[in-house]
Amino acid sequence: MIQEELASPPALQLFRNQTDEICLTLDQQEIIRLKKEKNAILLCHNYQIEPIQQVADYVGDSLGLARQAASTDADIIVFCGVHFMAETAKILNPSKTVLLPDLNAGCSLSDSCPAEQLAEYKAKNPNTFVIAYVNCSAAVKALSNVICTSGNAVEIVNQVPEEKEILFVPDQNLGQWVIGRTGRKMKLWPGSCYAHVLFTKESIERCKMEYPEAPVVAHPECVQTVRDLADEVCSTEKMVHYCKSHPSDTFIILTETGMMHRLTRELPNKAFVAGPTGNCACNDCRFMKMNTVPKLLECLRSLKPEISMKNDLIEKSKRSIERMLEWSK
Ligand code: 13P
Ligand code: SF4
């Protein structure tokens, strides 16, 4: 894949695939060999760096990754994403070894909803039905009735019985978008993703002026004024399907920059403009970018660092995840 620096201002980055041939490095080849030797599966989120995506067994969104984790028969799951994603894989596979190359790969959105605060809210509002976006800790999942991802949030909310009062945690932007799509009243936890809120109405309007014909595709974690400029709002996996079926050959993509690798690989004849933020042409999530090829290689060699969780927490948090999988078959 090549990145073309275009005239500034505004400084935009256009991503397109130049060649189908991928030449793997020795480290990447060793990762593939170790996976085979240890019967390990490498699950990778769309926001990971390109060299990691190239050696993964599955690359996708949170929903796809949870489904893969629930159905794998590998002995070891190596998760290249952030901590809550690897934790979800462990909850669904307590007897398997689940590895995350860097245990510090957290998530600002997950951090915005501490379990103690949610427990306090529930104590004061005992009849509340809690829907938690999967970007939260296992302790928050244990306090929730059902989990959702950006890929199935509308479907999940539509299945909650009418009489229930819903609290949606932790992403207020996704929650607000779901309210608009379902017409369902929900209380929203005041959390947000530090990266997605960096897109601004002004930065996207500038981008649209340069690419007036390109449809704008935004992640629901973006703020409403930005979502309002989008032709489509959806999860990262649905972005691939939308761009594939749309006749346009160029798209403006408002999400983390790693997504461009997935899009250019799957849609080699199309081009993607990374949505600029107020002060940068790209938008990397610092947590997603903590996983690197050397860390992944070392993790496969030493089978560390491993996600470890108490059985009690696994049991309590599993219910809400399993309910999500049942409700979104
Ligand atoms: P997706 O499930 O749409 O891939 O989103 C995950 C995420 O962390 C978005 O910031
Ligand atoms: Fe969390 Fe935002 Fe990073 Fe996704 S992009 S992992 S929501 S901080």
Q: What is the pLDDT of residues 161-190, one digit of tens each?
A: 999 999 999 999 999 999 999 999 999 999
Question: Residue of the nearest CA to atom 9 in ligand 1?
Answer: 221
Q: How far is the CA of 26 from the centre of ligand 1 (A)?
A: 30
Give the pLDDT score at 18.
Answer: 75
Q: Is the CB of 62 under 6 A from ligand 1?
A: yes
User: What pLDDT, on a 0 to 100 scale, did the predictor assign at position 279?
Assistant: 84
- Measured from the CB, is residue 243 less than 6 Å from ligand 2? no
Give the ligand with the smallest distance to the CA of 197: 2
pLDDT at 15: 95
| CA of 236, nearest ligand number | 1
For ligand 2, is residue 256 a contact (CB within 6 Å)? yes
Q: Which of 88, 287, 289 to mutate to test the pocket of ligand 2 (most atoms within 8 A of CB)?
A: 287
Whether residue 266 contacts residue 240, with contact meaning beta carbons closer than 8 Å, is answered with yes
Dist. CA 112 → ligand 2 center (Å):
11
- Which CA distances in Å does 159 have to 53, 92, 148, 166, 182? 34, 22, 12, 12, 10
* H/E element, 14: strand 13-16
Phi, psi at 302, each rounded to 5°: -95, -10
Q: Tell me, what's the pLDDT at 7?
A: 46
Q: Which residue lies with its CA nearest to atom 6 of ligand 1?
A: 62
Q: Tell whether ligand 2 has an atom less than 6 A from the beta carbon of residue 107.
A: yes
Residue 1 pLDDT? 59
Ligand sitting nearest the alpha carbon of 62: 1
The pLDDT of residue 282 is: 85
39 conformational bin, left if phi > 0, alpha if psi -120 to 50, beta if neither: left
Specify the residue for token string 């990262």: 236
Model-wide pTM > 0.85: yes
Residues lower than pLDDT 70 in the chain: 1-10, 20
| pLDDT, tens digit, 9 for 90 and up, residues 257-281 | 999 999 999 999 999 999 999 888 8
Find the length of the chain: 329
